[in-house]
Structure 1
Amino acid sequence: MKNIADIAKLAGVAKSTVSRYLNGGSVSEVTKRKIEDIITETGYMPNAFAQSLKAKKTNIIGIIVPQLDSYETSQTLIGIDQQLRALNYLMLVSHTNRNLEREIENIYTLAKQKVAGIILLATQITDRHVQAISEIDIPVLLVGQHHDEIHSLVHHDEEAGYAMGKYIIEQGHRRLAFLGVSETDIAVGVKRKEGFKRATRDVNNCEVRYFETKANMREVAANALDIFNDFFPSALICATDEIAIGAVKAAYTKGMHVPANLSVTGFGGYEITAMMHPALTTVQFYFIEAGKKAADHIVQLVNGQDIPMLTYSNFEIIARESVDKRFAPS
């Protein structure tokens, strides 16, 4: 594989001339044809990443992600990458390992690296996030969380929580537990719970209790059902599929059967939930489609086009084997 120096030597021109040609700068027609011939003969492929960094306006979109070992993150990144490639943009991923300090630092770092825009897959938005985003001179799109002052693309978490609550009530369950996460995560910890509360608030003879856990299936599996020593529900609504998987594991560890003793639901629609036994009833979010929409939106912002400040992605209830139908009390 040849590099720019090799192409320059074969064409008998300076390395800077080849670089100028590759970046669309002014080069004489004779020199241009000479360089083109050499590139054709050698099969040289310019490094698009380096080429973009040298240009005044890059075609690189920075993506800040809190974790890489997440189905939601990986699927969203697939969608972003597919659409950015279709639009002739590149993706530069920065992983923060759920460290908010690193997340804020990466906003500034990516801006210094002259990315055209930033997509932030956020778990929470603090005042320091807002300050950093206001101080850099490039477009930023939030995915997964909403802020009034920043363009945001979110799952319709509250409506999804409401839909799941209505579904569980329709199946006849009246003794319910909602197992959520910290309210620092507004989308998952607040919105899904608020939607569920709204669906169950005015239902007769319905008892609901709310609990909190870490969004980690291993921790849930280790202690999820311990919190139900004084209150055992007929249905456990989990704020994520990960929590639901851990809860099913915990139930079987204690000799219980899903759904005979306990119905369980999740949110996410992870592929593995269809392969479980029993298969998990869940809210299906369309992460790849959301990623594609995020890519479209950030490119539109980069090009000075108007988009809505808040956009929702689609969802649907996937009814499977982990929920049974109960006789509803009158």
Structure 2
Amino acid sequence: MKTIADIARLSGVAKSTVSRYLNGGSVGELTKKKIERVIKETGYIPNTFAQSLKAKKPNIIGTIVPRLDSYATSQTLIGIDEQLRELNYQMLISNTSQDLDREIENIYTMARQKVAGIILLATQITDTHIEAFQQLQIPILLVGQQHQAVYSLIHNDFEAGYDIGKYVIAKGHRKIAYLGVTEQDIAVGVNRKKGFTKAIQEAGDCEVKYYETSFKMAEAIKRVPDIIDKFNPSILVCATDNIALGALKAAHLKGINVPDHLSITGFGGYEVTEIIHPSLTTVQFFYKEAGQVAAQSMVKLINSEELSPIILSKYKIIERESVDNLLSGKL
């Protein structure tokens, strides 16, 4: 395995010259061709991370995620990675497994590794997070959550919640169960619910009950039968597609036909929601595109370019088979 010292010796130049070349510094044209020829002949692959640590301007972007087994996370990471590569940056990923203490630890660890900036796919922002951001003094971008002290790229959860509320009302549903998550998650647990609630309040004449579950499909499967037995809603509005998928499974296990006897909606737009039967009506968020915008925004922050404190990503309602139109037979 070749080193910079080997490349320098074979090229007949100083090690510092090879290092300067690899880091994009000024090197004479003849010397540049010698180094390039040796690199090609030897198949030498530079250690990008080591280069970033030594360079005055590092090109590694730290990306911290709460979980890896998530469609939203994986699509966002793909978007970040693809865009960073185009911009000649590299991504370093750290997973916290939804452990807040580990998340804070990873923020400091990445800063010690001299990353150029950190993209944080956050589930909540605490005072400890803000303290860390202020101490580190490197560019930070939140994705999925919002805080006034940090640049944030958010999904427009409030408007999305409002629009799905208007949608189910337009379909004639008046006995509605909303299945959400903990309000510690401001985006999913608070903003989606607030938007939905506003639409319901504007409509009036609705019987709505709010329930809480986790992000796990298995918990929704356990939770939904009790909701059906005790409240018997015409529709379940679920705060995520995973919850909606759990609700679909629970309805199937109880022998309830969807959408004839129970309608279900979700949020997310996961690929699986299109191929299941019945296919799921949902609010689609464009996670990959959001990742691309996050990467572009982070590079702007690194280069001290102007950036809006809050960036909104797109969404749209995807109408499929899981929602019954209760007004279709009425004139």
Q: Deviations over 1:6-42 (max 9, x none)?
A: 3233234554443244234576777555434422433
Aligned length: 330
Q: Distance in 1 between matches of 2:284 and 2:27?
A: 53
Where do 1:245-256 residues align within 5 Å? 245-256=245-256
**Aligned residues: percent identity?**
62
- Please state whether the residue corresponding to 1:321 is helix, strand or coil: coil
Partner of 1:77: 77
Q: CA deviation at 1:230?
A: 2.3
Q: Over aligned residues, Cα RMSD in angstroms?
A: 2.0
Match status 1:4 vs 2:29: no
Q: Flag the 1:298–1:25 CA change in 2: closer, same or farther, 3 A.
A: closer
In 1, Cα distance between equivalents of 2:192 and 2:32: 59
Q: Matched residues in 2 for 1:83 and 1:27: separation?
A: 28
One-letter amino acid of the structure 1 residue matched with residue 119 of structure 2: I
Amino acid at match of 1:297: S
Where in structure 2 are the equivalents of 1:28-43 lying within 5 Å? 34-43=34-43
Q: Which amino acid aligns with 1:247?
A: A
* Superposition deviation, residue 242 in structure 1: 0.2
**1:142 equivalent in alignment to 2:123:** no
Q: How does 1:209-248 map to 2 (within 5 A)?
A: 209-248=209-248
Question: Could you say which residue in structure 2 is the equivalent of 1:301?
Answer: 301
Q: CA deviation at 1:127?
A: 0.6
Structure 2 residue 272 is the aligned partner of structure 1 residue 275: no
Following superposition, the deviation at residue 112 of structure 1 comes to 1.0
Q: Structure 2 CA distance, aligned partners of 1:166 and 1:249?
A: 25
- CA drift of 1:49 comes to 2.5
Distance of 2:153 and 2:26 partners within structure 1: 41
Contact 2:65-2:122 at 8 Å conserved across structures: yes
Q: Residue in 1 aligned with 2:262?
A: 262
Residue in 2 that maps onto 1:87:
87
Per-residue CA deviations over 1:228-249 (Å, capped at 9, x if unaligned) read 4321100000000000000010
More deviation, 307-316/195-204: 195-204
Report the secondary structure of 2:230's partner residue. Answer: coil
2:86 & 2:29 partners in 1: Cα distance? 30
Instruction: Report the residue type matching 1:72 in the other structure.
Output: A
Assess, with a 3 A threshold, how the Cα gap between structure 1 residues 195 and 26 changes in structure 2: closer, same or farther. Answer: closer
Give how far 1:98 is off.
Answer: 0.4
Distance between the aligned counterparts of 2:12 and 2:48, measured in 1?
A: 23
- Cα distance, 1:222 vs structure 2: 2.5
Separation in structure 2 between the aligned mates of residue 128 and residue 90 of structure 1, nearest angstrom: 27
Deviation at 1:82, TM superposition (A): 0.8
TM-aligned CA distance change 1:37 to 1:229, over 3 Å: closer
Output the CA distance in 2 between the equivalents of 1:86 and 1:29: 25
Distance in 1 separating the partners of 2:291 and 2:18: 36
C-alpha distance 199-27 of structure 1, shift in aligned 2 (>3 A): closer
Q: How far apart are the structure 2 equivalents of 1:283 and 1:88?
A: 33
SS of the aligned residue for 1:260 comes to coil
How far apart, in 2, do the equivalents of 1:24 and 1:180 lie?
A: 50
Q: Secondary structure of 1:62's partner? A: strand
Indicate the residue corresponding to 1:205 in structure 2.
Answer: 205
Find the aligned partners of 1:79 and 1:24 in 2 and give their Cα distance. Answer: 26
**CA distance, structure 2, for counterparts of residue 185 and residue 41 of structure 1:** 53
Q: How does 1:95-110 map to 2 (within 5 A)?
A: 95-110=95-110
Shift of 1:107: 1.0
1:122 and 2:122 matched? yes
5+ long unaligned stretches in structure 1: none
> Which secondary structure state, in structure 2, belongs to the residue aligned with residue 222 of structure 1?
helix
Q: 1:247, 1:28 → 2: CA distance?
A: 65
SS of residue paired to 1:161: helix
- In the TM superposition, what whole-angstrom CA distance separates every residue of 1:125-181 from its partner, at most 9, and x where no partner exists? 001011101111210000000001110000000100000000000000100010000
**Alpha-carbon distance in structure 2 between the residues aligned to 1:160 and 1:30:** 58
Q: Which residues of 2 match residues 311-326 of structure 1 at below 5 A?
A: 311-326=311-326
Distance in 2, matches of 1:294 and 1:149, equals: 17
Q: If the length of structure 1 is used for normalisation, what is the TM-score?
A: 0.94
- Cα distance in 2 for partners of 1:212, 1:318 equals 24
> Please, what TM-score do these two structures have when normalized by structure 2?
0.94
Matched residue of 1:94: which SS?
strand
Q: Contact conserved, 2:213 with 2:223, CA < 8 A, in 1?
A: no
| Residues 8/165 of structure 1: CA separation in 2 closer, same or farther (3 Å cut) | same
Equivalents in 1 of 2:77, 2:282: separation in Å?
22
CA distance in 1, matches of 2:32, 2:200: 70
Which residue identity does 2:149 align to in structure 1? E
Task: Give the Cα–Cα distance (whole angstroms) in 2 for the partners of residues 169 and 271 of structure 1.
Answer: 26
Change (3 A) 1:165 1:25: closer
